[in-house]
Amino acid sequence: MNKKRVLVIGGGIAGITSALELAKNDQEVFLIEKDPGIGGHAASFCCKATEICNKCSVCLVPEKMREMVIHPQISLLTTSEVREINGEAGDFRVKIVQKPRFVDPDKCTACGICIEACPVEPQKAINLAYPGAVPPAFVVDNDRCLRFQGEECTICQDKCPTKAIDFAQDSQEIDLDVKAIIVATGFDVFDAREKALLGYGKYPNVLTGLDMEEMLLKEGEILLPSNGKPPQEVAFIQCVGSRDEHIGNGYCSKVCCKYAMRFSRSLQYQNPEVKITIFYMDLQTAGKGFGEFYEQCKENIRFVKGIPVEISQVSPDQLGLRYEDLSQGKIVEESHDLAVLSVGIAPRKNNRNLARILGINLGDFGFFDTLNQVENTSTNIEGIFIAGCCQGPKDIPESIAHSTQAVLRVVRTLT
């Protein structure tokens, strides 16, 4: 009798943790991920240590990724999504669609010959998804690759020494028999363009928290997009896309106050003269050791209660922020050179679709629902569990903890 496997949907930190913990508990696991590589959002975050670790936990992600890809009990299927499921707990029959990845991760050695050969400039159309990507196999960038612009280019395929690239690859359907499913599909980053008055996408020096992460990871420092110089006066605007009745996100995204403060320390480490202001509603500082961290931040970061309503471009390298100075009851405008929008964690737009396929309910705000607020990994369908941010905003350690809870449920009820 074949040992039935557990399906984990989603290769972010929650999915990876779920797969690893299941494997350590003697389970065989299929992990499917819709992107060509695993790691989810957290894989493109950057370490924010100065001399001291700032406990952002980003370093855990590559470590767990590497542990996972070499684990013999975990089978990884990338560019794959669930199309349909039938059956019930103990015996789910799942149809997966695997889109062509074009680059075979088992054959790609990341040698880089394809990058050199690629004719697309200035940024090549084939590369690692992000530095330190796991598995270290290249990915074709659909937005830039000429083949997706209608041209018949096969240069990289021809040059690849291990014949890892195959543009003739087609989608394929895979049938899986599993006894339980853990949904760990993560979140969407709130699209800051929805808050049009804040100028994201309009003014170059308005960035989101995610842009900051990617810049820090790829460049090693934060520089103004407008002139490439280090910023002197930085404003963090909290609660962008969270606690906002107007757009229906009536919840706290939990991670933003913390990441704003950690970024601030990084910026100060980079340039001790930088002036930082954090505009907030209610400062969230709960968590082991975070209170002390906040007290240190208070010494040289200006905290202002009140969220700017509007950002304008005063000059090519200066932004104007308009907010209500609560102490005086007046509207003021002050200038900063860099504005960082601390965007929140939003439910994935695809949740509705996946909920329909799996038969599970959506809860508040479009995250997946759980049986009750305390047992928050079990869904209305027996044998299907949820883990991580797809249930609601969490930071990395909480996603990991939540995933271990889901695994405990699986191990307990279905073995």
Rg of the chain on CA atoms, in Å: 23
Under the criterion CB under 8 A, does residue 348 sit at the interface with other proteins? no
Applying the rule CB under 8 A, the residues between 171 and 210 that interact with other proteins are: none
Backbone angles phi, psi at 370, to 5 degrees: -120, 165
From residue 241 to residue 260, the character string flagging contacts with other proteins as x (rule: CB under 8 A) and all else as - is: --x------xxx-x--x---
Interface with other proteins by CB under 8 A: which range of 3-11, 31-39, 91-99, 276-284? 276-284
Under the criterion CB under 8 A, does residue 270 sit at the interface with other proteins? no
**Which residues is 343 bridged to in the sheet?**
240
Under the criterion CB under 8 A, does residue 346 sit at the interface with other proteins? no
Of 203 and 368, which has the nearer Cβ to other proteins?
368
Answer for which of 219, 229, 248, 382 binds other proteins (CB under 8 A) is: 219
330 Cβ contact partners less than 8 Å away, ≥ 6 residues apart: 324
Under the criterion CB under 8 A, does residue 271 sit at the interface with other proteins? no
Q: Are 64 and 74 in contact (CB under 8 A)?
A: no
Answer for which of 264, 277, 391, 399 binds other proteins (CB under 8 A) is: 391
Q: Are 22 and 8 in contact (CB under 8 A)?
A: yes
Helix (H) or strand (E) holding 212: helix 209-219
From residue 287 to residue 326, the character string flagging contacts with other proteins as x (rule: CB under 8 A) and all else as - is: xxxxxx-x----------x--------------------x
Of 2 and 330, which has the nearer Cβ to other proteins?
330
Applying the rule CB under 8 A, the residues between 57 and 86 that interact with other proteins are: 57-60, 62-63, 66, 70
Answer for which of 3, 24, 349, 352 binds other proteins (CB under 8 A) is: 24
Answer for which of 104, 146, 404, 414 binds other proteins (CB under 8 A) is: 404
Which DSSP category does 94 fall into?
A: E
Answer for which of 352, 364, 371, 380 binds other proteins (CB under 8 A) is: 364
33 Cβ contact partners less than 8 Å away, ≥ 6 residues apart: 10, 11, 15, 76, 77, 78, 79, 80
**Which residues is 84 bridged to in the sheet?**
95
Under the criterion CB under 8 A, does residue 214 sit at the interface with other proteins? no
Backbone angles phi, psi at 55, to 5 degrees: 60, 30
Length of the chain: 415
Under the criterion CB under 8 A, does residue 87 sit at the interface with other proteins? no
Q: Which two tokens mark 293?
A: 């961290």
